[in-house]
Structure 1
Amino acid sequence: MTDFTREYGPVAVITGASSGIGHSFAGQLAARGLDVVLVARRTDRLEELAQQLRRTHGVEATVVAADLADPAAPEQVLDTVADLDVGLLVSNAGFSSVKGPFEQERAEVLSSMLMVNSLAPTLLAHGLSPRWKERGRGGIVFTSSVEGLLGIPYSAAYPATKAYVIALAEALWAELGPAGVDVLALCPGATDTGAIRRQGINPMTLPHLMSPDDVARSALDHLHDGPVHIPSAHYQEMFHTLLAMPRRDALTTMARSMPK
């Protein structure tokens, strides 16, 4: 715990902290002794979480109510933490939509998805990384997805945004690593969060579902082991098999397996 705090503390910024994996990241980082900056849209949930973390772990918890679909939101977050010694960014906020034909998705949803899933993480990392290079330590966790490892038919836009995140993480891992900054693209498979239900999927139909706590714990335990981490052994094996196939065959296999 002391080493983790020294390397990535004293302050961690977590986006998407009001629920799911982000909520788990916030609790586990506070348990490791880091002060936290909690970013999400839902102020009431953030305030409740902040009070819980202060009471349970004795850490400072700062609430930033921001919608990362707003192009001004990343700058709002950076302005809030300008005077804080941020050592870790957990860029976790993201969303997908109900799976279906690409042309049926609304254009405004696609625009918001690109902003939240791809542009906001880029701008936050861009704003914070000079600090870590200067002090010679720090870290970034980008929450991507196993869907970012391969184009997923009938879910075209979401995997594209997550593929961007993986490429960004890989590049920054190589670029910032020599300066002492660890970078990890976290690629969960099915995780028991509200996002599953919003996609129209019944969690009970997913036999390899992971808990948000287990996903967040695995990411923090493997932060040194970037650039890409898949926390589920099942999905490691599944995508190892798919990515070993000719790309055309893998995409055809995925298309056949997806509900239309």
Structure 2
Amino acid sequence: MNSSKGTTLITGASSGIGAVYADRLAARGHHLILVARRRDRLEEQAARLHTAYGSKVEIFPADLAKEEDLGRVEALFTSTRDIDMLVNSAGLGALGPGAAVDLKMVDGLVRVNVLALTRLSLVAARVFAQRKQGTIINIGSILALMPVSGASSYSASKAYVLNFSRSLQAELGQSGVTVQAVMPSMVHSEFFGDQPAPFPEQLFMSAETLVDTALSALDQGELITFPTLHDVTQWQEFDNARILLVKSLTQGGQPAARYNQSNA
């Protein structure tokens, strides 16, 4: 039996990336609170993890798109449970052309990918900052940097995850709280449902490889993690270009000369 390294709350824990985080963190000695919609899968997951690793595993069936359920999950951070890590893995796709996609699917995406992730991160941040320790892991996507046709809402939600996580990193950097944004490429999961994935097989990574890579990055103190990026200087150059652009945008309040009507 492993000695406990604290308790981790994982959303989207019944399958895919979230389920692998549950397995890997249980193996590292974490107790777990598993949040997802499907009780039967959570029960199976909890039994397996307890048998395999001796971890204490609590299941918490909840639909994060529903205000009442989200509120109940938020309350876990201020109850008697000693949560010191949050993994925001739950996510929805709502893929399809923006002019045709089901608006209810988009509403659910925003509620889960943006609102739930934000509220859980903020309540965790407040609790962790008071203790001066804790870890928040937010699952983003490389589509945060790639606005593409057919994934407008999803891409935008993951751009939000990246910027939100970076802002939290800046705010919490001196408080002992770690915030990591994991930005995977294509991952084998249930994301596409029964539909064939619209990408070549060689672009996909297994959820196991993704989580192992992300946890290795976390161990090394890497807070923005692109698991498939082999040359990290490319991200550094990208970010340096962003910083230069921001400097150019903040030199003053006057419009650029090209917008001067008198020059037309």
Asked if TM exceeds 0.5, the reply is yes
Distance 1:180 1:58 in 2: 29
Per-residue displacement from partner, 1:53-93 (whole Å, max 9, x unpaired)? 11111111010100111122221112245211111000000
Q: 8 Å contact 1:41–1:66 — kept in the other structure?
A: yes
Residue matched to 2:188: 192
Residue matched to 1:83: 80
Residue matched to 1:166: 162
User: Given the alignment, which residue of 12, 17, 30 partners 1:16?
Assistant: 12
Please show how residues 67-216 of structure 1 align to structure 2 within 5 Å.
67-81=63-77, 82-98=79-95, 100-198=96-194, 200-201=196-197, 205-216=200-211
Residue 34 (structure 2) pairs with residue 38 (structure 1): yes
User: Given the alignment, which residue of 40, 43, 47 partners 2:43?
Assistant: 47
Change (3 A) 1:41 1:242: same
Structure 2 spans left out of the alignment, 5+ residues: 243-264
Deviation at 1:220, TM superposition (A): 1.6
Distance 2:147 2:235 in 1: 12
Change (3 A) 1:114 1:238: farther
Residue matched to 2:59: 63
Distance 1:177 1:45 in 2: 36
Q: 8 Å contact 2:92–2:108 — kept in the other structure?
A: no
Give the paired residue count. 239
Residue matched to 1:221: 216
Change (3 A) 1:80 1:137: closer
Deviation at 1:154, TM superposition (A): 2.2
Distance 1:121 1:189 in 2: 20
Distance 1:240 1:196 in 2: 31
Report which stretch shifted further, 234-243 or 132-141: 234-243
Deviation at 1:152, TM superposition (A): 1.8
Q: 8 Å contact 1:169–1:227 — kept in the other structure?
A: no
Q: 8 Å contact 1:184–1:226 — kept in the other structure?
A: yes
Structure (1 or 2) with the greater helix fraction = 1
Deviation at 1:227, TM superposition (A): 3.3
**Structure of higher RCO (CA pairs closer than 8 Å, 6+ residues apart):** 1
Q: 8 Å contact 1:184–1:229 — kept in the other structure?
A: yes
Deviation at 1:214, TM superposition (A): 1.0
Paired AA for residue 93 in structure 1: A
Report which stretch shifted further, 72-81 or 11-20: 72-81
Change (3 A) 1:118 1:54: same
Please state whether the residue corresponding to 1:173 is helix, strand or coil: helix
Change (3 A) 1:101 1:238: farther
Q: 8 Å contact 1:189–1:235 — kept in the other structure?
A: no
Deviation at 1:234, TM superposition (A): 6.6
Deviation at 1:175, TM superposition (A): 0.9
Report which stretch shifted further, 64-73 or 189-198: 189-198
Aligned CA-pair RMSD: 2.7
Please state whether the residue corresponding to 1:222 is helix, strand or coil: helix
Deviation at 1:200, TM superposition (A): 3.9
What TM-score do the two structures reach when normalised by structure 1? 0.83
Residue matched to 1:257: none
